[in-house]
Amino acid sequence: MIQTKTEISIDALGRWFYRDAEITQPDVLKYFKQNLYRSDRYYILNIFGDLREEGDLDRVLACPVLAISATFKDNSFEFYLDSEERLTVLQSEIHLSGMDCLFFVHPRGFPVRLKTSAMGHVSEYLTGSEDAPVWKNGETLIRSQIDGLLQP
């Protein structure tokens, strides 16, 4: 396995950059997002035959992947992500950070923020006040800070 530096970073608005140039090509972004991992660091896994390369990201100041829609079934949500992946997440795995950011942790270790469109679907299953939201089935919505999952 080879470990390299990519010079790729994600700014506070969730935009991806190579050095100082914003990465805007949809297929490139999709590839990076579909091959992104987080352990003690963020990296993009590239596999070329028998060769494995882990390219470290410089900085991650926002959630690198977004959930753009959601459907609900049996106390879990199926999310469609901007990486064109589908993930099933238990409602107990969804966190609230601050007053308006819902997120969950992707199986590959990084946080996924719910866009407004996905939050609209999820909020149908929440009740209580803005200060103390709970799931309609009585489970508590987990409050946690997303900062510890980022990489300044």
CATH assignment of the domain containing 14 = 3.10.540.10
Pairing of strands 59-60, 65-73: unpaired
pLDDT digits (tens, 9 = 90+) for 42-81: 999 999 999 999 999 999 999 999 999 999 988 899 999 9
Q: Is residue 131 pLDDT above 80, yes or no?
A: no
Q: Is residue 8 pLDDT above 90, yes or no?
A: yes
Residues 85 and 49 in one domain: no
47 CB-near residues (< 8 Å, 6+ apart): 53
66 CB-near residues (< 8 Å, 6+ apart): 14, 81, 82, 112, 113, 114, 115, 118
- Residue 67: name the closest of 22, 16, 111 by CA: 111
Residue 143 · residue 97 · CB < 8 Å? yes
Claim: this prediction has a pTM higher than 0.75: yes
CA distance 89 to 131: 23
Residues 71 and 30 in one domain: no
Average pLDDT over residues 7-14: 95
Q: Domain count of the chain?
A: 2
pLDDT digits (tens, 9 = 90+) for 87-114: 999 999 999 997 678 999 999 999 999 9
Residues 110 and 90 in one domain: yes
Range of the domain at 96: 65-149
On average, the pLDDT of the chain sits at 93
Residues 87 and 110 in one domain: yes
Residues 109 and 55 in one domain: no
Three-state DSSP class for residue 33: helix
